A and B are shown apart, each in its own frame.
Chain A
């Protein structure tokens, strides 16, 4: 098996709000191996984006607070790094793209300017002491020239036609899909180990969605990337990922290879989720939803957070958080319907 790249262990995240403390993440476990294309799915508010943003430590603190857990990347605990070390870490090892390509590029600067900065700061971080100095001083002109070459190559790589001329345009002169490509290029400038894609296609048209997903897949092959793809759309996961984790109200409730999950979902929530996906053949019956609503994070239900909506609810569900039950070597489910690992062990 490939080496472990990222391991999130028992991550707890809280948000202070006017109405109290929201327990946004309550013990997230997640493991990515090098070369994985890993999907993280769940409804809005389940904590999937918060999990993703915890890795580059982009969650504003306060009001956010990580109360427990660790995030191990290549053997280092990211939560122990200083802000300066984190800056360097993000530049060298991480690429992140977000949902809305319209707002994520700075409208006042050309793509060239933004991409060159991405190249310079990701590739050369730490080679001289003062990064700002390098960026603004004339002595850095040659470096910026080189960076421009690299930036054009990057735009080529992400499939922007006539990259050498388009690079001088402003973001508003690009379409939504093209802007997302630019953002991918910026994320990839420093050849990162891990690309975190937070709902990268949600704001795009369906046809453009497919193109972007195809692009990400092709980049995985070309560059040997590891991808963590966050989405609420199971279709996107099915098309793109090899492994997937399902989140519900701040916890991972099932993880599995993608095919296995679709063929053999174990958690009642996953089952409901897969049934809820509209299919051609079941069109007649209309949409099937999961009854009930997602829990209030200020006052989450005790035990398994899904129990108030679960059709198979039992006594332990109301009191005890379920631990992992292994279905196969790669398929784990966190549900009392299945023999609990720690119980089996004892």
Chain B
């Protein structure tokens, strides 16, 4: 099967999952709170106001009808409207998604850049000092509450040492680069605007670093385990026996074999870090999905909550598909089918 056909099939397969997810979020937003209209209208609302609001929101209809209307909206890309800000949820999502993606991607890059070498070294010095130190270090860092560490780092690096701005994605008064991907670092590079790139990076590195700690331990551990497995492979014995230098074996052959498992954990951790971003965003005032989620949750503004949850589901499903495609590129034995 060609990769295009495979991709289309995989994309179709996420539809039932998203329908299931929409049922869950719909249940959370319409059934659990008991009285969503009351929540939206506020405690002082008169019955007339409530009725008008219910009609306006379509909440006077039966639940199945409401669900069908919601889904019909989703198909048109309409995520409904926030009861609090009266803005279109779809517009908000479009603004906030790139910020969260940029933060999470940067964090994954940090975590991989630290965790993969640590895992490799652990495996090569199995049960020796470097192995134990790497293990303790990664457990040490992963155990910090991200929101607390974010606060400490913000003060230390941002305020005391002045190494990074304390909040936001970009200087408020500067003009950001033309939006292409929405990722400020990428957009500024595409525009060859290195000053903007520097400013975007300056804002990005600290939150991304804090966020990356959450994925450090598992990336290190999985890299170590898969390296050990790959090192124990018969082919390594053969390569050594016929005189291929050890460093070539490790850096070329073993690394590629070990990378499949590491890739799996990286894509899983991507999901975890998107969740962790919720907390880091709220400390660094990073205008992303997480900050949006926290604000909406505190206001019990369910239209955005549903949209955000769906969006996380879509992003995560797409990341999984990308990972599977990457397997096929790395491992020649995998045939799409």
Q: Are A and B direct contacts in the complex by CB distance below 8 Å? A: yes
A interface residues with partner B (beta carbon < 8 Å): 56, 58, 83, 87-92, 94-98, 100, 103-110, 114, 117-118, 121-122, 125, 131-132, 135, 170, 172, 183, 186-187, 189-190, 196
Report A-chain residues with C-beta under 8 Å of the C-beta of B247.
132
The reply to whether A117 and B244 contact each other, CB–CB distance below 8 Å, is yes
Docked Cα-Cα span, A135 to B252, in Å, equals 10
Given contacts A104-B237, A106-B253, A109-B256, contact A172 B332 (CB under 8 A): yes
The reply to whether B256 and A90 contact each other, CB–CB distance below 8 Å, is no
The reply to whether A108 and B245 contact each other, CB–CB distance below 8 Å, is no
Given contacts A108-B330, A135-B252, A170-B333, contact A121 B238 (CB under 8 A): no
Q: Is B295 an interface residue (CB 8 A)?
A: no
The reply to whether B243 and A121 contact each other, CB–CB distance below 8 Å, is yes
Docked Cα-Cα span, A106 to B333, in Å, equals 11
Given contacts A108-B332, A109-B253, contact A103 B234 (CB under 8 A): yes
Q: Is B239 an interface residue (CB 8 A)?
A: yes
Docked Cα-Cα span, A100 to B252, in Å, equals 22
The reply to whether B332 and A117 contact each other, CB–CB distance below 8 Å, is no
The reply to whether A121 and B245 contact each other, CB–CB distance below 8 Å, is yes
A interface footprint on B126-149 (CB within 8 Å = 1, 0 otherwise): 000000000000000000000000
Given contacts A106-B257, A172-B332, contact A87 B248 (CB under 8 A): no
- For the complex formed, measure the closest distance between the CB of A103 and the CB atoms of chain B, giving whole angstroms: 4
For A103, A117, A121, the residue with the greatest tally of chain B CB atoms inside 10 Å of its CB is A117
A interface footprint on B238-275 (CB within 8 Å = 1, 0 otherwise): 11111111111001110011000000000000000000
Report A-chain residues with C-beta under 8 Å of the C-beta of B332.
107-108, 110, 170, 172
Given contacts A87-B246, A117-B248, A132-B247, contact A94 B241 (CB under 8 A): yes
Q: Which of A108, A109, A183 contacts B238 (CB 8 A)?
A: A183
Q: Is B178 an interface residue (CB 8 A)?
A: no
The A-contacting residues of B in range 322-337, CB under 8 angstroms, are 330-333
Which B-chain residue is minimally distant from A189 (CB atoms)? Answer: B242
Given contacts A103-B233, A106-B253, contact A122 B242 (CB under 8 A): yes
Report A-chain residues with C-beta under 8 Å of the C-beta of B333.
107-108, 170, 172
Report B-chain residues with C-beta under 8 Å of the C-beta of A56.
240-241
Q: Is B235 an interface residue (CB 8 A)?
A: yes
The reply to whether A187 and B240 contact each other, CB–CB distance below 8 Å, is no
The reply to whether A104 and B251 contact each other, CB–CB distance below 8 Å, is no
Report B-chain residues with C-beta under 8 Å of the C-beta of A190.
242-243
The reply to whether A98 and B237 contact each other, CB–CB distance below 8 Å, is yes
B interface residues with partner A (beta carbon < 8 Å): 233-235, 237-248, 251-253, 256-257, 330-333
Report A-chain residues with C-beta under 8 Å of the C-beta of B242.
90-91, 94-96, 118, 121-122, 186-187, 189-190
Docked Cα-Cα span, A302 to B253, in Å, equals 45
Which B-chain residue is minimally distant from A122 (CB atoms)? Answer: B243
Report B-chain residues with C-beta under 8 Å of the C-beta of A100.
234
Q: Which of B234, B235, B243 contacts A87 (CB 8 A)?
A: B243
Which B-chain residue is minimally distant from A170 (CB atoms)? Answer: B332
Known contacts A56-B241, A96-B238; 13 further A-B pairs (Cβ under 8 A): A88-B243, A89-B243, A90-B240, A90-B241, A90-B242, A103-B235, A104-B238, A107-B331, A117-B252, A132-B251, A170-B333, A186-B238, A196-B241
Which B-chain residue is minimally distant from A135 (CB atoms)? Answer: B248
Which A-chain residue is minimally distant from B330 (CB atoms)? Answer: A108
- For the complex formed, measure the closest distance between the CB of B120 and the CB atoms of chain A, giving whole angstroms: 15
Which B-chain residue is minimally distant from A108 (CB atoms)? Answer: B256
Which A-chain residue is minimally distant from B233 (CB atoms)? Answer: A103
The reply to whether A131 and B245 contact each other, CB–CB distance below 8 Å, is yes
- For the complex formed, measure the closest distance between the CB of A91 and the CB atoms of chain B, giving whole angstroms: 3
Given contacts A117-B248, A190-B243, contact A58 B237 (CB under 8 A): yes
The reply to whether B243 and A91 contact each other, CB–CB distance below 8 Å, is yes
Docked Cα-Cα span, A114 to B238, in Å, equals 11
- For the complex formed, measure the closest distance between the CB of A255 and the CB atoms of chain B, giving whole angstroms: 25
Docked Cα-Cα span, A114 to B239, in Å, equals 9
Docked Cα-Cα span, A108 to B255, in Å, equals 11
- For the complex formed, measure the closest distance between the CB of A115 and the CB atoms of chain B, giving whole angstroms: 10
Docked Cα-Cα span, A58 to B239, in Å, equals 11
The reply to whether A105 and B238 contact each other, CB–CB distance below 8 Å, is yes
Report B-chain residues with C-beta under 8 Å of the C-beta of A87.
243, 245-246
For B243, B246, B331, the residue with the greatest tally of chain A CB atoms inside 10 Å of its CB is B243
Docked Cα-Cα span, A335 to B284, in Å, equals 82
Report A-chain residues with C-beta under 8 Å of the C-beta of B233.
103, 106
Docked Cα-Cα span, A304 to B156, in Å, equals 73
Report B-chain residues with C-beta under 8 Å of the C-beta of A83.
246
- For the complex formed, measure the closest distance between the CB of A90 and the CB atoms of chain B, giving whole angstroms: 4
The reply to whether A118 and B244 contact each other, CB–CB distance below 8 Å, is yes
Docked Cα-Cα span, A190 to B244, in Å, equals 11
Report B-chain residues with C-beta under 8 Å of the C-beta of A183.
238
Docked Cα-Cα span, A196 to B243, in Å, equals 13
Docked Cα-Cα span, A236 to B274, in Å, equals 61
- For the complex formed, measure the closest distance between the CB of A83 and the CB atoms of chain B, giving whole angstroms: 8
Q: What are 21 A-to-B residue pairs whose CB atoms are below 8 Å?
A: A58-B237, A87-B245, A90-B241, A92-B243, A94-B241, A94-B242, A94-B243, A95-B242, A97-B238, A105-B238, A106-B253, A107-B235, A107-B257, A108-B331, A109-B256, A114-B239, A117-B239, A121-B242, A121-B248, A132-B248, A183-B238
Which B-chain residue is minimally distant from A118 (CB atoms)? Answer: B242
Given contacts A121-B248, A132-B251, A170-B333, contact A105 B235 (CB under 8 A): yes
Report A-chain residues with C-beta under 8 Å of the C-beta of B241.
56, 58, 90, 94-96, 98, 187, 196
Docked Cα-Cα span, A158 to B170, in Å, equals 64
The reply to whether A121 and B235 contact each other, CB–CB distance below 8 Å, is no
Which A-chain residue is minimally distant from B257 (CB atoms)? Answer: A108
Given contacts A87-B243, A107-B332, A118-B242, contact A98 B234 (CB under 8 A): yes
Given contacts A98-B234, A100-B234, A170-B333, contact A106 B245 (CB under 8 A): no
Report A-chain residues with C-beta under 8 Å of the C-beta of B248.
117, 121, 131-132, 135
Which A-chain residue is minimally distant from B259 (CB atoms)? Answer: A108
